Structure 1
Amino acid sequence: MSHDLSSIFGRYLSHEEVNHYLTDLVQKYSNKIQIFSSAHSFEGREIHTIRISPNILQKKANGRFYVLIDAGIHAREWITISVALYVVHQLVERDAINSRLLRNFDWIILPLLNPDGYEYSREHNKMWRKTRRPLGRDRCVGVDCNRNFNVSWGIGTPQYCSLVYRGERPFSECETRNVRDIFRMLRPNCRFYLSLHSHAKAILYPRAYSRTLPQNWKHQHEVAQAGADAIVGACGVKYRCGSASSFLNNAVGGSSIDYAHDIEKIPFALVMEIASKGFHPPAEDIARICQESWIGIQAMVMQLAVSPRISFTRSKTAI
């Protein structure tokens, strides 16, 4: 029995409700979904990452590759969490019509990367962006997780109280260390990393810290463009595609997609800036935005199947 979708995608769930939904799915569909890993935020909230697979009982995904999606890296981007949960819903509760997306890939999904910041945004300051770890200077709190990864980390603002403060050192935040550990667990078979953000109507690939493009940028652009084309064709919503640096006023170090691509060697690492009216669009728009975003995500994953950067004939062993 599937869930009442209006209760999940008709409003913004709390962190507790997100975890309840995930654990409920694991209980109901134990042959399709499992808790892949659990970590804790600075304030002690449990952070669940789930795995969806047609071979869920196999601890080692022989000959299969991984798609990794995260959301909620920035606390105020509430809609990203809803979209991540919608992906989970489609793959688990509507897996019969989405079976082609599970043919070659296991999906690893982290729907709420920064739960402390998210709850603070929900309850106190809707525009809060960072984590909630006190910094011990000038009463400042929090680090921008998307400036905290260990790749060109020195580029960016050092000001403690800035909304985009990079941290005292790379991986100073337990929330970003959790993502790093997931990357490492997925070695060497993670082929696509997608980080959900809002609300710039763009699909971006590395690099954010430099105008120098990756060697495979054309293939990454093709994947991004496939998502954009699918969305505009189905919904009329136009997404821009390009490198992250081409959309920024200044170079940015420590981003998750640059770390994924340059350090973890994941060939496709994209940001999807979800098209929405602000970071927390009206509740009545959530389901529609989730559906539009899902159309693009499907198209990007299907495009991977024809990319020369991925061969499904090789047999490798990952976790």
Structure 2
Amino acid sequence: MDLELFKERTRHFKLQTQVLLTDVQSAFDSQNMKKYVTPKVDSFNWEYYHTLEDIYQWMSDLAVQNPERVELRTIGQSVEGRDIQAVLIKKEKGKANVIIDGGMHGNEWISTVFVTFLIKRLVYAKGEDDILYDLANKYHWYLIPVVNPDGFDYSIKHDRLWRKNRRIFSTGEGVDLNRNFEHNFGKYGTSANVKDDNYGGTEPFSEPESKALAGFITSKRDRLKFYISFHAYGQKIIIPYDDRVQHVENFSEMDNYAKQAILRMYRLNGVKYGVGTIYDTLGLRASGSSTTWVKKNFKTKYVITFLLRDNGSYGYALPNEQIRPTCEETLQGLVELMTARPRRIRSDLFNAAQKPGNTIKS
């Protein structure tokens, strides 16, 4: 459809429109990557995006150079046979577990970037950040930067907007991994059409990536205190359950902690976040998400989805100059969330820091 015809039809149906990006391809092209120089772990920085190969090489080098702190584990393989790798920040036995993941959707590059940023800050927290160092020593940290390595690689080399994994069907390609977990599978916010971005697969855990993540989480379930999944975009903190309208279980507690995190992020960079269930914040329900599956099956106390920058102006084309600010503010929000205690939130302060709902997918 050409631009003039599009404008004519929007006028006909009395639809309001707003131009966010005049040249989306140029915005994607400006998302620069920088080659990692192995084994110089300090050459991996957060002013650029990185390829899957460089992320994995950096993780390997980090483990080799910090054997007392870092262990690299493979939790499974993708459809195309790529490893799904996790970093363990080692601590003595008896500590509770924290599982962090990113890159479940191929096109959400900033989620993968943040998890690598968090790995680096946890490993080198001593002498740099006392609060983060305390958290690093309080838990076993398991961090999975790229749950969907095939989709991430494909989005870099072939289709910047590729969201799903790379399962090939006779009628289409790919499964949305965050609709492939087993809870109310296929009921809300998902599609049975393989051509759709939110196609949930033929059955729960039909995909090796979701099955691998679920198996890994299950193996840590007894001491799992936090499960936090990072996505993009929309600037939201999402509290389970994704398939419900009602607020249940410890929603009020999590809402209070999330608001404290949002205020801390706002004070740092002026970024505005919303908080609530996916229905509260996005006006929809979703089945088959990893966070709802964890919350339902294991009653894990603290389960959260972060939707990182931005609010739609750039979307998946988030420019390089926003990478480090996003990582810094998200780290501050995460630390606040994990160390928060119940307290009264002044509505006037929070209203200034809160972003209203919109319609971004998670």
Matches within 5 A, 1:113-124: 113-124=147-158
Alignment partner, residue 69 of structure 2: 32
Alignment partner, residue 3 of structure 1: 41
Q: Against the structure 1 CA distance between its residues 95 and 173, is the aligned structure 2 distance closer, same or farther, given a 3 Å change threshold?
A: farther
Alignment partner, residue 257 of structure 1: 291
Alignment partner, residue 294 of structure 1: 331
Asked whether the 8 Å contact 1:224–1:270 carries over to 2, the reply is no
| Partner Cα distance (1:77, 1:121) in 2 | 9
**Larger RCO: Structure 1 or Structure 2 (Cα < 8 Å, ≥ 6 residues apart)?**
1
| Partner Cα distance (1:213, 1:254) in 2 | 18
Alignment partner, residue 98 of structure 2: 67
Q: 1:21 aligns with which of 58, 81, 85?
A: 58
Residues 1:166 and 2:204 aligned together: no
| Partner Cα distance (1:302, 1:86) in 2 | 19
Alignment partner, residue 51 of structure 1: 88
| Partner Cα distance (2:173, 2:247) in 1 | 34
| Partner Cα distance (1:86, 1:95) in 2 | 15
| Partner Cα distance (1:45, 1:212) in 2 | 39
| Partner Cα distance (1:195, 1:187) in 2 | 16
Identity of aligned residues (%): 26
| Partner Cα distance (2:75, 2:275) in 1 | 33
Alignment partner, residue 177 of structure 2: 145
How far off is 1:130 after superposition? 0.3
| Partner Cα distance (1:95, 1:260) in 2 | 31
Q: Which runs of 5+ in 2 are unaligned?
A: 1-38, 343-362
| Partner Cα distance (1:2, 1:240) in 2 | 38
After TM superposition, which residue ranges in structure 1, 4 or more long, deviate above 4 angstroms? none
How far off is 1:2 after superposition? 7.8
- Which amino acid in structure 2 is aligned with residue 144 of structure 1? D
How far off is 1:188 after superposition? 0.8
How far off is 1:278 after superposition? 1.6
Give the aligned length: 296
Question: TM-score when scaled to structure 1?
Answer: 0.88
How far off is 1:250 after superposition? 3.2
Residues 1:112 and 2:141 aligned together: no
Question: Over aligned residue pairs, what C-alpha RMSD do you find?
Answer: 1.7
| Partner Cα distance (1:193, 1:38) in 2 | 16
| Partner Cα distance (1:209, 1:187) in 2 | 22
Q: Which runs of 5+ in 1 are unaligned?
A: 56-60, 308-319
Asked whether the 8 Å contact 2:278–2:285 carries over to 1, the reply is no
Question: TM-score when scaled to structure 2?
Answer: 0.78
Matches within 5 A, 1:261-280: 261-276=295-310, 277-280=314-317
How far off is 1:174 after superposition? 0.5
Asked whether the 8 Å contact 1:154–1:253 carries over to 2, the reply is yes
| Partner Cα distance (2:40, 2:262) in 1 | 29
Asked whether the 8 Å contact 2:269–2:325 carries over to 1, the reply is no
| Partner Cα distance (1:235, 1:103) in 2 | 28
Report which of the two structures shows the higher radius of gyration computed on alpha carbons.
2
| Partner Cα distance (1:288, 1:146) in 2 | 26
Alignment partner, residue 18 of structure 2: none
How far off is 1:104 after superposition? 2.2
Alignment partner, residue 213 of structure 2: 179
| Partner Cα distance (1:202, 1:266) in 2 | 20
